[in-house]
Amino acid sequence: MGGEIVSIVLILFLFITLWKGVRIVPQGEEWVVERLGKYLKTLMPGLHLLVPYIDNLAYKVTTKDLIMDIPQQEVITRDNAVLITNAIAFVKVTDTQSAVYGVTNFQMAVMNLVQTSLRAIIGDMDLDQALSSRDHIKAKLKASIADDVADWGLTLKSVEIQDIKPSPTMQKSMEMQAAAERERKAAVTRAEGEKQAAILEAEARLESAKRDAEVQVRLATASAEAIKLVALALPDRELPALYLLGEKYVSALKSLASAEGSRTVILPGDLMKSLEGLLGGKK
């Protein structure tokens, strides 16, 4: 019974020893081996033999491109506007030893570095510039952190700005400002229209007054010519005036008789005398 137990223990020991001594690294990964607590070597993909119980497999690192989703954060611009932004970084491990020994957690380090740099870059920009310069922010962000991540054995393949937008409070303020601006423009347009209408109306009145004046001048000129012709035709000084007065008198009676709703025409008692004056008759 005791021999069987020993045999089982030996078999188990050999199995564990074999498992610790023979390691197969899959493609896309690199494993860091330490010997007695000190870095020994980096295992590439394939079959490897280790010294059991002395060599220790300390870290397993993927060499594929890592996609790091940078958490959303609030950023204050130079003109004190609050923006909400987040990003995504594509990173590849190129030096496994530096990645595991250069920083405690390289993924967390990259995320914090991107967040800090993003706040600094947008903090030096105005609101309008930040909202319209996504490519500029991306290029500046990549340039600012590429050297830092290289010290950790990483290569920054790309960094993209996923979203950059005003905060809900800021967005509401912008909508109110836009509405006020639209109302202001509408008021200016209405005022300009009223101004143009007033100018056109004044110009129309001025033109009408000028034309009325011209008509009055022409009528006065015509009347003067008429008086002159009558005076030449009738040598007597009183006859031209009597003639013109008679003509006006008859015209007024005609207008009175033809007026709308007029059924009765009252003739003056001196009508005959007026006609005699018109014809040039004398007492």
Same domain, 165 and 70: yes
The confidence score (pLDDT) of residue 187 equals 84
d(C-alpha 96, C-alpha 254), whole Å: 120
State pLDDT tens for residues 118-173: 999 999 998 888 888 888 999 999 999 988 899 999 999 989 998 888 877 777 77
Structure token digits, residue 13: 């020991």
The residue type found at 198 is A
Same domain, 108 and 39: no
Pairwise pLDDT comparison (159 vs 211), residue with the higher score: 159
Task: Categorize the per-residue pLDDT at 94 as very low, low, confident or very high, splitting at 50, 70 and 90.
Answer: very high
Phi, psi (rounded to 5 degrees) for 19: -65, -40
Pairwise pLDDT comparison (180 vs 160), residue with the higher score: 160
Residue 260 DSSP one-character state: T
Same domain, 58 and 31: yes
End-of-domain residue from the set 172, 188, 210: 172
* 164 within 8 A of 127, measured Cβ to Cβ: no
Phi, psi (rounded to 5 degrees) for 136: -65, -40
Mean pLDDT (whole number) for 106-118: 92
The burial of 84, by beta-carbon neighbours within 10 Å (0-12 exposed, 13-18 middle, 19 or more buried), is given as: middle
| In a domain? residue 226 | no
Structural element, H or E, at residue 86: strand 82-93
Same domain, 85 and 150: yes
Mean pLDDT (whole number) for 188-208: 86
Mean pLDDT (whole number) for 73-77: 89
Same domain, 162 and 79: yes
Mean pLDDT of the chain: 81
Enumerate residues 6+ apart whose C-beta is below 8 A from 163.
72, 84, 85, 86
How many domains are there within the chain? 3
State pLDDT tens for residues 15-38: 888 888 888 999 999 999 999 889
The confidence score (pLDDT) of residue 283 equals 46
The confidence score (pLDDT) of residue 252 equals 65
Same domain, 42 and 106: no
Mean pLDDT (whole number) for 102-123: 91
d(C-alpha 150, C-alpha 89), whole Å: 14
The residue type found at 268 is P
Q: What pTM, to 2 d.p., does this model score? A: 0.58
The burial of 82, by beta-carbon neighbours within 10 Å (0-12 exposed, 13-18 middle, 19 or more buried), is given as: middle
Residue 274 has pLDDT above 60, yes or no: no
Pairwise pLDDT comparison (70 vs 274), residue with the higher score: 70
Mean pLDDT (whole number) for 9-19: 81
d(C-alpha 226, C-alpha 7), whole Å: 154
Query: Angle, to 10 degrees, between the axis of helix 271-279 and the axis of helix 238-257?
Result: 130
Domain hosting residue 91, numbered range = 66-172
Same domain, 57 and 70: no
d(C-alpha 24, C-alpha 39), whole Å: 19
